[in-house]
Chains A and B, each alone.
Chain A
């Protein structure tokens, strides 16, 4: 990265809050529109950049290219009918939507789910994290010019999707968790095939580690990029690997153990330097952690048993008036559903708290200042954002 501070006098002066003083009439600035097909994200989102030379002086996030009004649509659906809608809120990682929605509904209805269903949900969530990280690592490498990594990681991600298909019948959208439990347990011989998949992932990860994390181009471009100060973590609502890279061990799986995470053995991974490289390194370690957790689950999980609680007729199911919030740790951070019911058969309001909402708007606008325009995509991917959860 160029050290912009050496030539500070040629660039605009700073406001006390760190933003640049910009006079568009001076003729020194150009407005550039990056997006909506932005290389830095899975989905559509635009950045309105004010640049001088090739440094970004100001950044504004524009969303709205994917708005389908899911939250409004769900108000007109029965609880069971919300499931096919809610999974579309975070496309590469839909299981967290299922989990958060079903568990808010179960909590408000006072349902207790069987143990086998809890194990099954934990497995699905962890597999979902694994495949989302694998997809991310390809994006991060691609944004810094290492296109081949994406091909490798997508190959192993596809193997995880095969395992999803075995359990649920679907590759991307599973809708396997329904209010009351899950739709089924693992098929025969699943552990063996899962183990083969995990070994294949480990093999490919070894290659990725050699080519990506030892690559001088990747290191040069990512070290020092997008520094998040630990004091910004709470001010900007930063969660997940972005917060852990700043040294704050925020992990919902450890802080608020849900499902069966309290029976699994793992440590929260934290970093020190809080730049794009540290965040990438944390996510690399998270992939290994997910593999480890899945192996632990394969041993501890019950292979048979009751997996569905007794639920009334879901088409006439009325849930008492109430309000609750349930959170889970997805790959990007804290994912949560705030559900309000009014005693009818329909939700009064469902609000989705996606981690991208804070990361891609307020935080991105702050971090993009003084970054080289060629590094925006890399910075964007290093925050790991999915636009659909911003504009539910």
Chain B
């Protein structure tokens, strides 16, 4: 695994290499290099299985972190390729030509985080949320509680009692 990282470092701008376990590494790569590095990993280094593609919203720092988790089935190793993309201009090159399943992940990310993947099949169709008209819900600045209070008709809940007061009134009504 260390040799692989050394090889990749010669070609691509790699930073923040974390050896999470013996067979699991996370690293960060520049947005420009990401797709060519992933293609090279798939075609030459044997990382043929796309485990998942997900995003993390770092609202305070102002960027989205995309994680492409790749798996080398022969060598039983995992490589998490992190890409930081600007939160205001959330757009990334699509990898649907490398794995058929990537299109589904990208469609979900477009809907849930508002990250665009131009050219990915059916990326603009709604995946889970039909008729959604708010900001993408998995962004950190989307407030689920506020949304549900505004959207759904508020029903009066059960009447709540302070237990001490309530029992006192029940047991000693004359006091």
Given known contacts A67-B128, A250-B73, A362-B103, A323 and B49 CB-to-CB distance under 8 angstroms: no
- Evaluate contact between B144 and A349: CB separation under 8 angstroms: no
- Chain B interface residues toward A at CB < 8 A: 18, 20-21, 23-24, 26, 48-52, 54-58, 65, 67, 69, 73, 76, 78, 80, 82, 99-101, 103-104, 126-130, 137-138, 140, 144
- Evaluate contact between B128 and A64: CB separation under 8 angstroms: yes
- Evaluate contact between B56 and A349: CB separation under 8 angstroms: yes
Query: Who on chain A is nearest to B57 by CB?
Result: A349
Give bound CA distance, A237 to B103, whole Å: 12
A-B contact count (CB 8 A): 92
- Evaluate contact between B138 and A72: CB separation under 8 angstroms: yes
Chain B residue contacts of A76, Cβ below 8 A:
144
Contact digits for A79-94, partner B, Cβ 8 Å, 1 yes 0 no: 0000000000000000
A353 at the interface (CB under 8 A from B): yes
User: Distance in Å from the Cβ of B133 to the closest Cβ of chain A?
Assistant: 15
- Evaluate contact between A237 and B99: CB separation under 8 angstroms: yes
- Evaluate contact between A336 and B138: CB separation under 8 angstroms: no
8 Å CB interface, A357-389 against B: 357-358, 361-363, 366
Chain A residue contacts of B103, Cβ below 8 A:
362
- Evaluate contact between A340 and B56: CB separation under 8 angstroms: yes
Given known contacts A235-B99, A237-B49, A357 and B54 CB-to-CB distance under 8 angstroms: no
- Evaluate contact between A69 and B54: CB separation under 8 angstroms: no
8 Å CB interface, A17-76 against B: 63-64, 67, 69, 71-73, 75-76
A284 at the interface (CB under 8 A from B): no
Give bound CA distance, A366 to B103, whole Å: 13
Chain A residue contacts of B104, Cβ below 8 A:
357-358, 361-362
Q: Contact partner of A236 among B67, B100, B140, CB < 8 A?
A: B100
Given known contacts A237-B101, A323-B26, A338 and B52 CB-to-CB distance under 8 angstroms: yes
Give bound CA distance, A141 to B117, whole Å: 41
Give bound CA distance, A353 to B128, whole Å: 16
Q: List 7 A-B contacts (CB under 8 A).
A: A63-B128, A234-B48, A323-B67, A334-B51, A338-B54, A349-B55, A353-B51
Query: Who on chain B is nearest to A66 by CB?
Result: B128
Chain B residue contacts of A323, Cβ below 8 A:
18, 20, 26, 67, 80, 82
Give bound CA distance, A361 to B103, whole Å: 10
Give bound CA distance, A349 to B139, whole Å: 11
Give bound CA distance, A348 to B57, whole Å: 8
Chain A residue contacts of B67, Cβ below 8 A:
323, 338
User: Distance in Å from the Cβ of A228 to the closest Cβ of chain B?
Assistant: 12
- Evaluate contact between A64 and B100: CB separation under 8 angstroms: no
Chain B residue contacts of A107, Cβ below 8 A:
20-21
User: Distance in Å from the Cβ of A379 to the closest Cβ of chain B?
Assistant: 18
Known contacts A327-B51, A348-B58, A349-B54, then 17 further A-B pairs from the complex at CB < 8 Å, ordered by chain A residue: A64-B126, A64-B127, A72-B137, A234-B99, A256-B23, A323-B18, A323-B80, A323-B82, A325-B51, A336-B52, A338-B52, A338-B67, A338-B69, A349-B57, A353-B51, A353-B69, A358-B101
